[in-house]
Amino acid sequence: MADFIQALDPAKLVLAETALAFIISPFTVPAYNLPIFLFGSYVQESSDAAQSLTLFAGLLSASLFYDVLWMFNNEQAGFLRLLTVVLFLLKIPTAGAFLIAMRQRGGQFPGLGTDINGPTVWSMPGGFTSGGRDGYQTVEDETPRGPSKAASVPAPQPANQSGAYQAV
């Protein structure tokens, strides 16, 4: 199923659904479909809109629930009912394709397996990392801590150290 959804082209799906929502919009249909798909066609074309892609995927997923409610509460003619059901059924793989596209662009959807152990975007101040930073001493240095034979004389410290951190 995941391979099938990955093979789908989100741009073509949104274009087809936008056209279908536009065609049936003058009749008694859910009024939110056309704006959602117009927003989706804009988001799909934008390459740096990970947050907008997340918003569209959430709106599209929520509209599935509202479609079911709308279909139970409203009557439609036969052919128009068929087109509304087709649009509803097309939303399912479109939502999946956009969730995959969102993940590929670096976006995350809260609650759908986001990686909390992934790379961080910040580091501890003062060089408390494995590689050290800006000349500060790291926590993991292999310096002798116990007394040694030459430990009776303290090592001279440079006179002009700048910054709040000093090597220990």
Q: What percentage of the chain has pLDDT greater than the value 90?
A: 17
CB 125 within 8 A of CB 58: no
pLDDT band at residue 115 under the 50/70/90 scheme: very low
pLDDT band at residue 98 under the 50/70/90 scheme: confident
**Distance of alpha carbon 113 from alpha carbon 163, whole angstroms:** 41
Whole-prediction pTM value?
0.58
What rounded mean pLDDT belongs to the chain? 74
Tens of pLDDT, residue by residue over 127-148, are: 555 554 555 555 665 666 666 5
Tens of pLDDT, residue by residue over 33-59, are: 999 999 988 888 876 667 788 888 889
Q: Provide the pLDDT for residue 53.
A: 81
- Domain ranges (residues) in the chain: 2-104
Q: Provide the pLDDT for residue 114.
A: 44
How many Cβ atoms sit within 10 Å of the Cβ of residue 107? 19
Encoded amino acid at 110, one letter: P
Specify the range with the lowest mean pLDDT, choosing from 18-22, 47-51, 113-117: 113-117
